[in-house]
Structure formats: C-alpha cells, structure tokens
Amino acid sequence: MAKTYIFGHKNPDTDAISSAIIMADFEQLRGNDSATAYRLGDINAETQFALDKFNVTAPELLTDNLDGQDVILVDHNEFQQSADTIADANIKHVVDHHRIANFETAGPLYYRAEPVGCTATILYKMYKERGFDIKPEIAGLMVSAIISDSLLFKSPTCTEEDVNAAQELKDIANVDLDAYGLDMLNAGASTTDKSVEFLLDMDAKSFTMGDYVTRIAQVNTVDIDEVLDRKSELEQAMLTNSAEEKYDLFVLVVTDIINSDSKILVVGAEKDKVGEAFNVQLEDDMAFLTGVVSRKKQVVPQITEALTK
C-alpha cells in the first residue's frame, strides 16, 4: 500500500508537530495503515518538552520527493510554507485554522478549515464526531498544541472551543492545565543559548501580500530585552536573509508571554508601511505593540492591508 504523508508547515511549532502525529493516529483508526507523520524542520524546545512529557517519538524529517504521493496537510495550506515538492503531490486532505492563500489542487479533496485557535482543536472535534477513543498521549499532544497556540488561553485567537477542548482533554492526559502549560511555555522561552539565525528561523513564515513577499518571524520569551539586546546582529541577519530569499519585508515579532505584549523589529524598503499597519512610528526600526501576541490575527492581516491598499 502506498504511504500517506502527513505533515505541518516548515519551521514547525507544537501545533504543527502534534497535529501531524494526531492526524496520523486518526487516519490509522479509520483503517489507513499507511498514514505516517513527518516534520519539515527541527523540533523546538517547547515541542520536545511536550513529546517527552507524553513519551511520544518525534516524526521523521521529510526528505522524500512527493511527486505523485498522497499527502495530508495539517496546520497550513500555503505552498511556500510547505514541502519543497508539494506542488507535485496528490493532496488528499487539509485540516487547518489559518487563512487560505496560494493554494490549488488538480483534483477534489477533503478540506476542513475552522476559525479556532489551534488545528488540534479541530482534530479533537473530528475524533468526537467519529466516536474514536483518544489515547492519553494523543490527548496530551492536543492539550499541548492548544496551550502553545493560545499562549495558555491568553491569545485573541483562542476561542471557547479551544478552552472547552482543553478542559475536556486534561483528564485524559492527566495534567493540570496551568501548571503544565507554564512549564511547557517556559521550556521554549529561554533565548540566551540560541543563535541569531536560530531565533529568526525557529518560528518564521513567508507570506505573499499583494506585490510583496513578507517574512514574519516570532519569538516567544519572558524577557523581550533578552532578545533585542542583540538587535544589531538580528538586523544584519534579517537583511542578509532578505537579500538571499528576495523578501521585500522581514518582520521580527518578539512576544512577552507573561504580559501579552510584543515588540517588532522591521527591515526592508517598505518598513514604514508596517508602522502604518499598527498606527505607530518606528523608532530605530522598532515599535512596541501593546496587547499584540498573535501573528495570525494581530500581525498578518494588518500588514497585508497596509501593503495592498
């Protein structure tokens, strides 16, 4: 039987990795024994903490050519965020909670997109709809993904469905949401031992916004200054990366996960439009954004509007 490849986006976060594993389990429960989870990048410290907590092995790094292969996409749909050979694959199913852009297929498919805070929340609903039992380790990954994407329910992307799902899953996973959530988020929050290149790539996505290609990286931390003390290094690396990859804009969002605020660092010819997007004046290419924590809801739409109007 031909393999079904399941994976989340490049530079995977906890939702991308967890959702690939969860979706593979879901497919196997449906009788698709060939369903296999993969990853498109390195496992970050937060995700590794969750995998270790629930004794789950990380998916294998995808290196296969996907030409003609059956694939299922989770936690993304935009081709520039996916596998390099995704355009040649046979996309059978998508489960996602992001905008739909730069996406088309040659044939029909199952597509489930919902405006919730986390792909794992949608997958939880799919298990319930099918009447499938949820194993403790799968429940643990679902909880981990929801906590990660919602910043322990503080993000504006978090919905009542996400909160309810986490509340229902915590007993199966045998965790205290607050205690476990803080431990997991803190596991991924330290930046002192990470290189500038790692910080700019560990949670970064590229977006086509009108005539512009914008790279938006996000670093979650408990100390914004700890990251931006290396501003000159970060700025130079962003400029170099932009020149190599032809980005028109590169935006770094440094988010304080405790106080739910962010500071941005911007490079690129259109950087003033980023200031316009948030109605702020960039000072030394930076600006403080009160209450901004969500790239998906509070950063991407605003910059898109500024670049396309």
E strands along the chain, which residues? 4-7, 35-39, 60-61, 70-74, 90-96, 110-113, 204-209, 212-221, 249-256, 261-267, 286-289
Please tell me the distance from the alpha carbon of residue 283 to that of residue 265, in angstroms, as a whole number.
Answer: 10
Please tell me the distance from the alpha carbon of residue 44 to that of residue 218, in angstroms, as a whole number.
Answer: 13
Q: Tokens at residue 156, please?
A: 């504006």
Alpha carbon 23 to its chain's center: 16
Please tell me the distance from the alpha carbon of residue 279 to that of residue 276, in angstroms, as a whole number.
Answer: 5
Q: Tokens at residue 279, please?
A: 């109605």
- Nearest residue to 148 via CA among 137, 158, 139, 161: 158
Say whether 112 sits in a helix, a strand or coil: strand
E strand or H helix at 14:
helix 14-29
Residue 211 assigned ligand-binding role:
no
Residue 67 assigned ligand-binding role:
no
Residue 13 assigned ligand-binding role:
yes
Residue 9 assigned ligand-binding role:
yes
Binding residues for Mn(2+): 9, 13, 15, 75, 97, 149
Binding residues: 9, 13, 15, 75, 97, 149
